[in-house]
């Protein structure tokens, strides 16, 4: 089993999500619960996955005023998820409040700061008033998050090498992964599994190339075979 693969359980209800997790048991340890599934299945889905022995990445992408984000972190910090996301764009005070809230529970999740979504390119950034490149924006947000005490980032494969150079020991979680020939869908800044790992990713997040495959276990195995060719980071 390659511990660097996180499968995104982007499903509209718990049964298909749990069915996929069960189908991939032995191939994959990590599953990501994002907004689509969490908003319908709630904390129970995190408990279900944990009771089956899986590790959970709770991708809630929290982004609100500091007091509200701190409260949200406290609400989910004791669930047993090992990773939890907040948006770096929430700013230093929000990030510090999130770190402080997580520190208040035993065994809190590691907080990851989402930098620039992998579905955003230069044009999408310009439309929300950001006139520099995605890479500059990612590095700027990463610096803000690390100053607030965050030790991991979510970014695209295009920035992972620059992030790894600047943050050798951080957790770098990379979505927007597409095996050669897979459908790109709404993602813009994408890479293959091997390219993202070679550039310094700690974890790859993969959704539709597995969840929409006619044979998800075979699709997972093919991705794992490609990942195996890139040795794990030693940092």
Q: Which residues bind ligand C5P (CB under 6 A)?
A: 8, 10, 34, 59, 114, 117-118, 154, 175-176, 187, 205-208
**61 catalytic, yes or no?**
yes
SS3 32: strand
Q: Compute the least distance from the CB of residue 151 to ligand C5P, in Å.
A: 17
Residue number with CB closer to ligand C5P (20 or 114): 114
Alpha-carbon distance of 215 to 199, in angstroms, equals 29
Tell me which residue has its CB nearest to ligand C5P.
207
Handedness of CA 78, 112, 193, 119 (dihedral sign): positive
| Residue 231: how many other CB atoms lie within 10 Å | 8
CA 218 to mean position of chain CA atoms: 23
- Between the alpha carbon of residue 166 and those of residues 65, 122, 139, the distances in Å are 28, 22, 9
Q: Compute the least distance from the CB of residue 117 to ligand C5P, in Å.
A: 4
Q: Compute the least distance from the CB of residue 104 to ligand C5P, in Å.
A: 26
Q: Compute the least distance from the CB of residue 113 to ligand C5P, in Å.
A: 10
SS3 179: coil
Residue number with CB closer to ligand C5P (35 or 126): 35
Residue number with CB closer to ligand C5P (90 or 175): 175
Q: Given the residues 25, 32, 61, 188, select the one marked as catalytic.
A: 61
Q: What residues have CB less than 8 Å from 196, skipping those under 6 apart? A: 157, 160, 174, 177, 204
- Between the alpha carbon of residue 48 and those of residues 2, 15, 31, 32, 41, the distances in Å are 22, 11, 12, 13, 10
Q: Compute the least distance from the CB of residue 234 to ligand C5P, in Å.
A: 26
Alpha carbon distance, N-terminus to C-terminus of the chain: 20
Residue number with CB closer to ligand C5P (36 or 100): 36
Residue number with CB closer to ligand C5P (41 or 117): 117
Calculate Rg over the CA atoms of the chain: 17
Active-site residue numbers? Answer: 61
């Amino acid at each position: 089993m390659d511990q660097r693969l996180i499968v995104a359980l982007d499903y509209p209800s718990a049964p298909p999500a749990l069915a996929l997790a069960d189908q991939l048991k032995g191939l994959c340890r990590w599953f990501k619960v994002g907004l689509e599934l969490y908003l319908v299945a709630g904390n129970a889905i995190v408990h279900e996955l944990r009771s089956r022995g899986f590790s959970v990445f709770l991708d809630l992408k929290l982004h609100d005023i500091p007091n509200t984000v701190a409260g949200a972190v406290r609400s989910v910090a004791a669930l047993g998820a090992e990773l939890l996301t907040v948006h770096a764009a929430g700013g230093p005070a929000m990030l510090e409040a999130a770190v402080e809230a997580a520190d208040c529970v035993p065994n809190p999740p590691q907080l990851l700061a989402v930098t620039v979504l992998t579905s955003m390119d230069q044009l999408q950034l310009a439309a929300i008033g950001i006139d520099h490149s995605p890479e500059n924006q990612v590095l700027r947000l990463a610096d803000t998050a690390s100053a607030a005490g965050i030790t991991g980032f979510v970014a695209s494969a295009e920035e992972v090498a620059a992030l790894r150079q600047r943050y050798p020991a951080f957790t770098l979680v990379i979505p927007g992964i597409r095996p050669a020939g897979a459908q790109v869908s709404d993602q813009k800044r994408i890479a293959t599994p091997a390219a993202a790992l070679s550039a310094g990713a700690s974890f790859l997040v993969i959704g539709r190339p597995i969840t929409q495959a006619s044979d998800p276990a075979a699709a997972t195995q093919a991705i794992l075979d490609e990942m195996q060719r890139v040795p794990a980071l030693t940092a």
